[in-house]
Amino acid sequence: MHYEQPLSERMRTFLRLEFLYQQTLYNGERQADWATRATIATLLEILAILSRGDVRSDVHKELDHQLGVLERFQSKPGVDTGRLDSLIHNLATSRDELSRIGTAYLQPLKDCDFLNAVKHRSAIPGGTCEFDLPEYSHWLRQPYERRQQDMDKWLGAIRPVCDAATELLWLMRESAQPAEKMAINGMYQHNMQKDGNCRLLRVSLQGNSSLFPEISGSQHRFTVRFLEWSTIDRRAVQTGHDVPFKLSIC
What does the pLDDT read at residue 169?
Answer: 95
Average pLDDT of the chain, as a whole number: 91
Q: What's residue 189's pLDDT?
A: 92
Q: Report which of residues 191 and 22 the model is more confident about.
A: 22
User: CA 13 to CA 16: how far, in whole Å?
Assistant: 5
Written as one string, the DSSP assignment of the chain is -EEEEE-SHHHHHHHHHHHHHHHHHHHHT--SHHHHHHHHHHHHHHHHHHHSS-HHHHHHHHHHHHHHHHHHTTTSTT--HHHHHHHHHHHHHHHHHHHHH-TTTTHHHHT-HHHHHHHHHHTSTTTTSTTT-HHHHHHHTS-HHHHHHHHHHHHHHHHHHHHHHHHHHHHHHHHSPPEEEEEBTTEEEEEPPTT----EEEEE--TT-SEEEEEEE-SSEEEEEEEE---TTS--EE-SS-EEEEEEE-
Question: What pTM value is reported for the model?
Answer: 0.90
pLDDT, tens only, 102-136: 899 999 999 999 999 999 999 999 999 999 999 99
What contacts 24+ positions apart, CB below 8 Å, involve 101-106?
Answer: 101/56, 101/157, 101/160, 101/161, 103/54, 103/56, 105/56, 105/157, 105/158, 105/160, 105/161, 106/47, 106/50, 106/51, 106/157, 106/158
Distance CA 17, CA 150 (A): 21
Q: Is the pLDDT of residue 177 over 70?
A: yes
Residue 140 has pLDDT above 80, yes or no: yes
| Percent of the chain residues topping a pLDDT of 90 | 71
pLDDT at 214: 93
What band does 219 get if pLDDT is binned at 50, 70 and 90? confident
User: Cα–Cα distance between 78 and 12 in angstroms, integer?
Assistant: 34
C-alpha to C-alpha distances, 54 to 168, 240, 246, nearest whole angstrom: 17, 44, 34
Q: What is the pLDDT of residue 196?
A: 63
Q: What is the pLDDT of residues 153-166, one digit of tens each?
A: 999 999 999 999 99
- Residues 18 and 166 sit within 8 Å (Cβ to Cβ): yes
pLDDT reported for residue 231: 82
Residues 71-106: tens digit of each pLDDT: 887 777 777 788 888 899 999 999 999 999 989 999
Q: C-alpha angle 197/200/203, rounded to 5°?
A: 125
Please say if the pLDDT value at position 16 is more than 90: yes
Query: What is the percent of the chain with per-residue pLDDT over 70, rounded to a whole number?
Result: 99
User: What's the rounded Cα separation, in Å, for the pair 15 and 165?
Assistant: 8
Q: What gap in Å lies between CA 143 and CA 31, rounded to an integer?
A: 9
pLDDT digits (tens, 9 = 90+) for 48-74: 999 988 999 999 999 999 998 888 877
Q: Which pLDDT does position 60 carry in this prediction?
A: 93
pLDDT band at 46 (very low <50, low <70, confident <90, very high): very high
pLDDT above 90 for 234: no
Beta bridge partners of 187: 184, 225
